[in-house]
Amino acid sequence: MNLDFDAIVIGAGAAGLFCAGTAGARGRRVLLLDASARLAEKIRISGGGRCNFTNIHCTHHNFLSRQPEFCRQALARFSARDFIALVDKHGIAWHEKTLGQLFCDDSSQRIIDMLDRNAARAGVKRLMQCAIAAVAKDGDQFRIESTQGNFRAAKLVVASGGLSIPQIGASPFGYRLAEQFGLEVVAPRPGLVPLSMDPAWLARYGDLSGLSFPAEVHAPGAKFREQVLITHRGLSGPAILQASSYWQWQEGTKRPLEIDLMPEIDAHAWLRQLRAGGSRAGLAGALAQHLPRRLAQQLADGTPGAGRVAEMSNRTIDEVATSLQRWSIQPAGTLGYRKAEVTLGGVATEELDPVSLEARRVPGLHFIGEVVDVTGHLGGHNFQWAWSSGWCAGMAL
Ligand SMILES: Cc1cc2nc3c(=O)[nH]c(=O)nc-3n(C[C@H](O)[C@H](O)[C@H](O)COP(=O)(O)OP(=O)(O)OC[C@H]3O[C@@H](n4cnc5c(N)ncnc54)[C@H](O)[C@@H]3O)c2cc1C
């Protein structure tokens, strides 16, 4: 089959599906190709099957990128409000879970169906299980050789995502294609990923596996107040996932994270007040007023010389307060791409126009979604980037 199109979109995930539908609705003849058998698997498994499809507080401050302002224009041109309007138009019921995070009431499949129907209605031709063998540019035309035929178009959009969850088809395709055309790629690494701890830490805290508690996690350059979860491999939970994206942010530096177990109170003042009041409680009992009992016991057991609060020295109070509010955690590593929700890094934003997502040095070549060096916080921001960047490219095709 040899067919010509106005635009070819590679990757029928969140960004690619939305981009193809947007361009198709503007009368462009669009071909959408994907190597996987199943459509938009990441949308399907997202948000525990309910797709946290956007966040009402989404701004460029919710993203990591070498150029933190890059995503600002796209997010403004197609905002969370615009996507909510689309979801409402299609009668998809949703609710806010927490912190502005919007989820489908029913299932992620509703979002996939909406995007797929819109693309089909707009005349987009979609081919699945289409392995791409080669991409070349002849003059002003891109030529694609694939297992399903050879195709040509003046515009090529790369929406092949990042490296997270290779078991459902993630591939480095987009990075390799960018490099083929001489574009810089910021080294990818796993983001929003559980952290592993060393055997000594696990020997001490591993028994608390499954325990979850609210805390404020401080990473280099950011802090997050959400739940922390102790696992049999180390640490997870929303606050840790968020912090993980910043943990390796500066090349080569793996600075410890600090966890404030009592962000609502001044632990130092509280302990002194307890002592002054002649509290008969042991340290574990006192800590259990603010922490899960098992964690309180574990922390007290690890504090030499901590007997009853009433008898604690100034020095012990200082030490306990510091360990409560600046609990230093040195992760051994991350659980890698198999467990990471996103991939940090990607096609350097300096290479792209922030309005059209077109490569400045390769006319007609666009990169959208997670393949770009724009990575959101947990909570719907990554899908919003997929919608915003997909829409902007779709309007430029
Ligand atoms: C478990 C999990 C849960 C998540 N939950 C949320 C959430 O609730 N909210 C949120 O905002 N974000 C969530 N995310 C992140 C979100 O899914 C991604 O950021 C988003 O899907 C990125 O969209 P994309 O279109 O760029 O890439 P993808 O959706 O990953 O789509 C890329 C597409 O490209 C195709 N492809 C890859 N390589 C090739 C190739 N060589 N040839 C052809 N096609 C190829 C893939 O098959 C895929 O269909 C979650 C991620 C995971 C892993």
Q: If you measure from the C-alpha of residue 201 to the centroid of ligand 1, how many angstroms do you get, rounded to a whole number? A: 33
pLDDT higher than 90, residue 303 = no
pLDDT at position 252: 60
The pLDDT value recorded for residue 304 is 78
224, 329: one domain: yes
**Ligand 1 — pocket residues by CB below 6 A?**
10-16, 33-36, 40, 42, 45-47, 51-52, 132, 159-161, 164-165, 169, 171, 173, 341-342, 369-371, 380-383, 386
Q: How far apart are CA 55 and CA 383, in angstroms?
A: 9
Kindly state whether residues 269 and 131 are assigned to the same domain. Answer: no
**Torsion angle, CA of 80/85/86/88, rounded to 10 degrees?**
120
Q: Give, for ligand 1, the residue of 9, 18, 41, 46 to mutate: max count of ligand atoms closer than 8 Å to Cβ.
A: 46
Buried b (16+ CB within 10 A) or exposed e, 295-334: bbbbbbeebeebebbeebeeebbebbbebbbebebebebb
CATH number, domain containing residue 309: 2.40.30.10
Q: Best substitution site from 10, 42, 108, 245 to test ligand 1's pocket, by max atoms within 8 Å of Cβ?
A: 42
Q: DSSP string spanning 25-50?
A: HTT--EEEE-SSSSTTHHHHHGGGGT
The per-residue pLDDT for range 225-284, each reduced to its tens digit, is: 999 999 999 999 999 999 999 997 555 667 899 999 999 999 999 999 999 998 888 999
At residue 84 the predicted structure's pLDDT band, cuts being 50, 70 and 90, is very high
Q: How far apart are CA 80 and CA 18, in angstroms?
A: 14
C-alpha 376: how far from chain center: 5
Q: Quick check: helix, strand or coil at residue 230?
A: strand
- Cα(142) to ligand 1 centroid in Å equals 24
Identify the domain boundary among 304, 335, 366: 335
> If you take atom 3 of ligand 1, which residue's CA is the nearest one?
46
Same domain membership, residue 199 and residue 270: yes
| Residue 292 contacts residue 284 (beta carbons within 8 Å) | no
> Of 335, 355, 373, which residue is a domain's last?
335
Ligand 1 centroid to residue 326 C-alpha, Å: 35
CB crowding 135-150: b at 16 or more within 10 Å, else e: bebeeeebbbebeeee
Q: What is the mean pLDDT of the chain?
A: 95
| Number of folded domains that form the chain | 2
Q: How confident is the model at residue 314 (pLDDT cuts 50, 70, 90)?
A: very high
In the chain, the percentage of residues whose pLDDT exceeds 90 is 92
| 122 & 168 share domain | yes
Same structural domain, 56 and 165? yes
Same domain, 330 and 348: no
**CATH number of 90's domain:** 3.50.50.60
Residue 43 Cα to ligand 1 middle (Å) = 7
- The C-alpha R_g of the chain, in whole angstroms, comes to 24
- Judge whether residue 42 has pLDDT over 50: yes
Q: What percent of the chain has pLDDT over 70?
A: 98
Of 335, 355, 370, the last residue of a domain is 335
Residues 309 and 331 in one domain: yes
184 plus 198 within the same structural domain: no
For the ranges 29-33, 265-269, 307-311, 347-351, the lowest mean pLDDT is seen at 307-311
Whether residue 339 has pLDDT greater than 50: yes
Rounded to an integer, what distance in angstroms lies between the CA atom of residue 311 and that of residue 342?
A: 49
Same domain, 121 and 140: yes
- Its domain, for residue 322, covers 194-335
The pLDDT of residue 307 is 79
Residues 318 and 384 in one domain: no
Question: What tokens were used for 247?
Answer: 């943990």
Instruction: Indicate which residue's Cα is closest to atom 42 of ligand 1.
Output: 35
Answer whether 0.85 is exceeded by the pTM.
yes
Pair (74, 166) in one structural domain: yes
Strands 30-33 and 125-127: parallel
The CA angle 13-16-21, to the nearest 5 degrees, is 115
Nearest to 131 by CA among 19, 1, 38, 33: 33
Tens digits of residue pLDDT in 102-158:
999 999 999 999 999 999 999 999 999 999 999 999 999 999 999 999 999 999 999
Listed residue (34, 31, 51, 54) closest to 42, CA to CA: 51
**Ligand 1 centre and the CA of 65: distance in Å?**
18
Mean pLDDT (whole number) for 53-75: 98
pLDDT at 2: 47
Same-domain status, 21 and 169: yes
Q: How far apart are CA 265 and CA 272, in angstroms?
A: 13
